[in-house]
């Protein structure tokens, strides 16, 4: 019952969450309607909007709002383990995203049936990759929300990731002649940061080029991608749980 209430709260805590879901779904529909993309192009669109931006929008202030208002002191009283609060809230976000992506598929399916153009090939794989990316980004943003006040966690993560892409891109251009340093940096960003590149390749069938080429993708490499993405989500969550358990909260409003 407590779990259900906490999960439900992630959806009901702000009215704008429902608006975000509806506007994101209409955005997918509008993009499909106007540009009639092929499976992969639409997949890339949904991957960024659903996997990354949706995670930021839904997790904005997920703990920061409660910490700033002092409500957190009511929530983390014994026998309530703070980790439980974190897990159920993240689970709430993840479930919302799962339903969101199923609805997204339905929207596209209806449009596809209605206008009889475009292609839905590979869309399910893109939606699955988007959900995995959503989980990773949501875990990172939720953990950040424990230490960053109000809803600034999402904004901070957005700025860090965009800056990161620009800086890494520039560094790579300079490091072309130093392949070993470049390889080290690439490995660091590939394996420690949210797995944008890895899941993008996984969903696009990139790994299929190297092994089971008759099928859509290589099983071993794809499973490895999913495993890495889930483990990264767990690692980000553990950091958040540790931070939440160790912080002293004040019941006074900021």
Partner 1 sequence: MRNKINLWTITTIAALVLEGWALYVVSLSPAHWRSSMIVKDEPAAHALYDKMIETMRQAESLSYQSVCSGPDDRDRASTYNILLKKPNYFHVEMSNVLSGYSTIVGDGDNLWFYWKGVRPFSAYEDKDSYEKTRANVYIKKATPIGRYSIRDQVNLLGTTWFGIILDPSIFHGHTDSLETYIDGIRSRGTDYAENEECEVIEVSFMKAQLTRYFWISKQDHLLWKIKEIVRLANNKVEVEEFSDISLNAVISQQKFSWSPPEGWQQWEKPGPDDFLLKPGTKAPDFELLSADGGKIKLSDYRGKIIWLYIWQCGSPSCREAMPHLQKLSEKYKDRGLVILGFNCADDKRIAKNFMRENSVTFPNILDSSHTAGKVIFDGYKNRSGTVPLSYIIDTRGNVVDAWSGYEEDNKRALAALKQAGIQPE
* Interface with partner 1 (CB under 8 A): 38-40, 122, 176-177, 179, 187, 190-191, 198, 204-205, 209-211, 213-214, 218, 220-221, 223-225, 227-228, 231, 234
Comparing CB distances to partner 1, the nearer of 103 and 124 is: 124
User: How far is 97 from 188, CA to CA, in rounded Å?
Assistant: 28
User: How far is 100 from 96, CA to CA, in rounded Å?
Assistant: 6
204 C-beta neighbours (distance < 10 Å), count: 19
Comparing CB distances to partner 1, the nearer of 10 and 40 is: 40
Shortest Å, Cβ 20 to partner 1: 30
Comparing CB distances to partner 1, the nearer of 167 and 234 is: 234
Comparing CB distances to partner 1, the nearer of 24 and 45 is: 45
Q: What is the CA radius of gyration of the chain?
A: 20
DSSP-derived 3-state class of residue 58: helix
Q: What totals of helices (H) and strands (E) does the chain contain, helices first?
A: 12, 0
CB 43 within 8 A of CB 204: yes
Shortest Å, Cβ 149 to partner 1: 32
Shortest Å, Cβ 181 to partner 1: 13
Shortest Å, Cβ 57 to partner 1: 29
Shortest Å, Cβ 187 to partner 1: 7
Q: CA dist 155 to 57, 74, 141, 142, 211, Å?
A: 9, 26, 9, 12, 40
Comparing CB distances to partner 1, the nearer of 23 and 213 is: 213
């Amino acid at each position: 019952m407590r779990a259900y209430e906490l999960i439900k709260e992630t959806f009901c805590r702000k009215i704008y969450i429902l608006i975000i879901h509806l506007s994101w779904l209409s955005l997918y529909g509008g993009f499909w309607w106007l540009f009639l993309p092929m499976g992969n192009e639409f997949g890339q669109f949904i991957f960024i909007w659903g996997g990354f931006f949706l995670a930021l929008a839904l997790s904005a202030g997920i703990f920061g709002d409660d910490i700033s208002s002092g409500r957190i002191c009511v929530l983390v009283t014994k026998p309530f383990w703070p980790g439980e609060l974190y897990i159920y809230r993240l689970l709430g976000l993840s479930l919302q995203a799962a339903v969101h992506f199923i609805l997204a598929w339905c929207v596209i399916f209806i449009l596809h049936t209605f206008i009889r153009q475009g292609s839905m090939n590979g869309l399910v794989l893109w939606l699955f990759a988007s959900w995995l990316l959503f989980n990773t980004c949501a875990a990172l943003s939720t953990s950040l929300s424990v230490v960053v006040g109000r809803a600034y966690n999402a904004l901070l993560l957005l700025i860090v990731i965009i800056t990161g892409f620009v800086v890494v891109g520039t560094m790579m251009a300079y490091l072309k002649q130093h392949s070993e340093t470049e390889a080290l940096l690439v490995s660091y960003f590939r394996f420690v940061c949210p797995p944008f590149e890895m899941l993008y390749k996984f969903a696009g069938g990139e790994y299929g080029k190297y092994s089971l080429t008759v099928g859509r993708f290589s099983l071993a490499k794809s499973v490895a991608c999913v495993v890495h993405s889930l483990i990264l989500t767990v690692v980000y969550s553990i950091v958040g749980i540790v931070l939440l358990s160790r912080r002293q909260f004040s019941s006074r409003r900021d």
